Amino acid sequence: MSDTPSTIQNDEGAPKGFGWNDSAELHKCEDGGGLFHRFKTIRRGTVAELVHFVMDLPEEKQPDYAIQKDGDRTFKIGEIRSLYRRSDYPGSDA
């Protein structure tokens, strides 16, 4: 479920919190041709699950991955680490 309110539901106000349970894909990045050059999908899950997966990898391998949040944006390692440090990150219970 997205953290963006739907006009069909007639929700009022700004979205509350980050969409940790939004679906996303984990991609392996291969250098050489720009942002989407040879992105390989590794797995699907929630944003929280994929952040946890990347942060469990050895530190030197973490930059090789990116998280594509459905309908939203791509998070590279700097942003993934920032998400992991957020006070509202659900942690390993994801």
Closest CA to 76 of 58, 50, 45: 50
Q: What is the pLDDT of residue 1?
A: 47
Q: What is the pLDDT of residue 71?
A: 79
Contact 56, 78 (CB under 8 A): no
Element spanning 51, H or E: helix 47-56
State the pTM of this model. 0.73
Per-residue pLDDT of the chain (94 residues; tens, 9 = 90+): 455 544 444 455 545 678 999 999 999 887 555 555 556 788 999 999 999 999 999 999 999 999 999 877 899 999 999 999 999 999 755 4
